[in-house]
Every structure is written in C-alpha cells, then in structure tokens.
Amino acid sequence: MEDSNPRSDLFEVLRNKALLKQEVYQKTLTTFRQFKSVIIEMVRDYQERFNGNEQLIPFDFRDRGEFEFELKFGGDVLLFMMHTNIFEFSRTHEVMKTNYIHDDKTRSYCGVINVFNFLADSFKYNRINDIGYMIGRIFVNRDLHYFIEGKRELGMLYNNFSTSLVNRDSVAQIIESAILYTINFDLLTPPYDEVKMVTVSDIQASLDNMTLKTGKRLGFRFQADPAE
C-alpha cells in the first residue's frame, strides 16, 4: 500500500540524515575513547619504565570530561577534544574529489577530534592570555575511515581516506606522531620590537594572572610558521 502522506518524502530525508549523523557521532565517540585508552596505556608503560627515577619527567593523563582529556609531558600539554557535531567537507576540498566520496556521498560526513598544544606552565600559573596551537584535527566517518589535517608528522599521516582505518595501531601512531611533533615544536622568543615596550598595568596585572602572552610561535600565524 502506497503512503498517501504528502510529507512522507520529507520525513524520510529527515530520518536518513539524522540516522547518518548519529552513526558518525557514535563512530567518532568510539574512536575518541580509543585515543583515551591508548594514552592511558602509554602513561602506564612510561611510569613502569621510569618509576623511582629521581629525575622523572612528567608523562601524565588527565580526564577532563566525556569529550576532552589531556596528556602532559615535559613542559607541554596535548589537549584532545572531540566536537559533538558532525561536519561535511566543503565542495572544493581535495577529499571531495576522490572516488571514495564519489561512490558514496555519505562517506564525506565526519566527526572531528581536535588536538591542541599548550605550554604546561600556562595552566600551572593560570596564564590565561597564553596561546595554544591546533597541531592537527582527525576526521572520522561512518566506516571508521579517517583523514588528518595537521603539521609535519601529523600531516604526513594523511595516507588515503579510502584505506586509512581507525584501529589501535593507527591510533597509537597518531598519538606518537603528535608527541614527536610537540617535542620538536620549540618555544621561540617573540620579535624584540613586539615586546620591548610594556605598560605599567600589564606588569602589575602579570603579578596576579600573568597577562603577558607566551606561546611557542608568539607573533606568527601558525599556518605560516617560519620554522616549518
């Protein structure tokens, strides 16, 4: 029997799009939890290896909620954040030109996990004006295929959206690459002309909340980092 409801097509489109996004969300959440699990395992391995060492360098996990956690090592913090919404690539994005997407448009809908790098002292001393950098973002679709936009080590993990699958090995590789990039992403002094003058109020305020900005590439846009 045919459906006589004139809105049936509209309802079907609504349900299909919502179900697709729910599926992508669940796959991204599963991936995010796998990131968390692998990092907890890495922290345990690190502590077992160096426990008792008088000069133990921090390598610590901190859970900040269902969609956020951090890994602190040395003087750095990597902050992993899962966005709760689902996105699609723009029509001009290189991914949209692949056969993988042409064969099934629903594969272009992805969840996103962002990875930020901050100085550990920024949190320790509550320097709220310090700058962090997004070093990569991981896109995950309904098939558990992933694509990475990032810098250096992370960017090199692009491989191929059609064949790159989320699993424990690939997650560990991404985390290790993020750590390596962060270790090699050193703190540079800002240009002298940008810091040679400072107001009395900045100095007075800095005694309370460190309003003078610190960042690994302060004074430069990360997208055009001259140290790349």
Q: Is residue 46 part of a domain?
A: yes
Q: Is residue 1 part of a domain?
A: no
Interval 178-199: pLDDT, tens: 999 899 877 656 666 665 666 6
Quick check: pTM over 0.75? yes
Domain limits at 218?
8-224
Q: Is residue 194 part of a domain?
A: yes
Quote the tokens at residue 58: 């921090």
Q: Is residue 87 part of a domain?
A: yes
Whether residue 155 has pLDDT greater than 90: no
Structural domains of the chain, count: 1
Q: Is residue 55 part of a domain?
A: yes
Interval 60-119: pLDDT, tens: 999 999 999 999 999 999 999 999 999 999 999 888 999 999 999 999 999 999 999 999
Interval 32-70: pLDDT, tens: 999 999 999 999 999 898 877 767 789 999 999 999 999
CA-CA distance, 17 to 13, in Å (whole number)? 6
Q: Is residue 3 part of a domain?
A: no
Among the listed residues 115, 147, 148, the one whose alpha carbon sits nearest the alpha carbon of residue 133: 115
